[in-house]
Amino acid sequence: TDFGFQQVAKNEKQLLVANVFNSVATKYDLMNDLLSFGIHRHWKKFTLAHSDIQQGHHVLDLAGGTGDFTAKLSPLVGENGRVVLADINPRMLAVAKEKLAHFSLLDNVAYQQANAEALPFKENSFDRIIIGFGLRNVTDKNKALRSMLHVLKPGGQLSVLEFSHPCRRSLASAYHFYSFHILPHLGHMIAHDAASYRYLAESIRMHPTQEVLKKMMLQAGFKNVHYKNLSGGIVALHTAKK
């Protein structure tokens, strides 16, 4: 019947849409792996190990992107816990939903479009906030830090994982060469997109140093601010308490 035909067509379209999203997510994840030589997985594992996530926790995965953190957080907080994956980009949220549907996670994950500068959550909502490779992209970082403090519970922890600044000069110059001369070419070859990877390198260069970010977090009102350099300071994990 006509109905039957339309039904098939509809399912095919859904499949097509799903495939497009999957290919975006897969490409995005593949680029992360290639450009960081797979080390971003280690940086993310380190972040989770230093975020003291417990069963029952309410955790905000801010600027969650394709959901790498959320996939790991969902089983860690368990059935009585909750993970909110928030991202400013609705397409990214759709990609995350589509990808995480394949992970058969617990029914404890929610998706929320949100700007880190003005988080749409009640005061004292979360035990933990993790923002991975997101703060760099936020326009008003001080405003975002204040917004995170507001929605964090007293005693709660914020973990900021972000590209930072290599400590040793030799590493800094090799890294500079990689990010400004090799990375855009790789971006062009693999993703047909040199401009985005040039932007990536520039945004990393402009990002506050480890010490400056620490001061910004203290100024926003966080306590116990510490950071650990990873891969010689190419990346840093800042942790802080409310």
Residues lying near ligand SAM in the complex (CB under 6 A) = 63-65, 68-69, 87-89, 92, 115-117, 132-134, 137-138
> Residue 194 corresponds to which tokens in the numbers above?
């040199």
CB 214 → ligand SAM: shortest distance, Å? Answer: 21
* Residue with Cβ nearer ligand SAM (122 or 169): 122
> Residue 116 corresponds to which tokens in the numbers above?
């880190």
Task: Give start and end residues of each alpha helix (H) in 36-62.
Answer: 39-49
Q: Are 116 and 138 in contact (CB under 8 A)?
A: yes
3-state secondary structure of 117: coil
CB 18 → ligand SAM: shortest distance, Å? Answer: 19
Residue the block writes with tokens 């977090």: 217
* Residue with Cβ nearer ligand SAM (6 or 113): 113
Q: Are 142 and 219 in contact (CB under 8 A)?
A: yes
Backbone dihedral angles phi then psi of residue 160, each to the nearest 5 degrees: -110, 110
Nearest residue to ligand SAM, by Cβ distance, number only: 65
Angle (CA) 39 41 44, round 5°: 115
CB 117 → ligand SAM: shortest distance, Å? Answer: 6
CB 9 → ligand SAM: shortest distance, Å? Answer: 32
* Residue with Cβ nearer ligand SAM (132 or 187): 132
3-state secondary structure of 238: strand
CB 6 → ligand SAM: shortest distance, Å? Answer: 35
* Residue with Cβ nearer ligand SAM (197 or 222): 197
CB 235 → ligand SAM: shortest distance, Å? Answer: 11
Measured between alpha carbons, how far is 153 from 94 in angstroms, rounded to an integer?
28
Helices and strands in the chain, H and E counts:
9, 7
* Residue with Cβ nearer ligand SAM (3 or 112): 112
Tell me the chain's radius of gyration from C-alpha atoms. 19
3-state secondary structure of 113: strand
Q: Are 152 and 170 in contact (CB under 8 A)?
A: no
* Residue with Cβ nearer ligand SAM (60 or 77): 60
CB 87 → ligand SAM: shortest distance, Å? Answer: 5
* Residue with Cβ nearer ligand SAM (33 or 79): 33
